[in-house]
Structure 1
Amino acid sequence: MPRLLASDDLLAQLADLPDWRLEDDRLVRAVERPDFAAGLALVVAVGEEAEAMNHHPDVDLRSTRVRFALWTHVANGVTQYDVELAHRIDDLL
């Protein structure tokens, strides 16, 4: 099972993810896209990355706004998998 990141480790890694925040023991980021189709395309692209990692985010798509929440269910918190997926999402943006 993946291990939870210690608070200090997580805060240090968040320095490289300035658009992400901790919310309810999850890494969270919301982005605006120009239209619904662009938001949906982003969700599909993130889904492909998530499948490749076998690590799946919670996604909420509402009109032009996409919200990602990352946490490792089996560890009940944020692990290195979540940090890696956050970086991959940032790369897609």
Structure 2
Amino acid sequence: MVQLNVMDDDKAWNLFNMNANLDNFSSEIIEVAMEVAKECGGLPLAILPLVRALRGKTLNGWKLAYHKISSSRLTHIEDVPKQRK
């Protein structure tokens, strides 16, 4: 078993945003990106590959990613805290 540190929502969003470089994106994409970041559960190992995969995607691409990650098993990993709302 490997212990992974989990970041709080603010730190996770900062990491996500810094790597996604969302400054010039629409507010709709940013809104979906925030939901995607939350679904990563504060795990940098989930955030970074996802951000890299989403660079340059359209709003539909971001929505599809959100749908896929929100229905994934990431939150079923042992000892990963449930999402903070």
**Shared topology, TM-score over 0.5?**
no
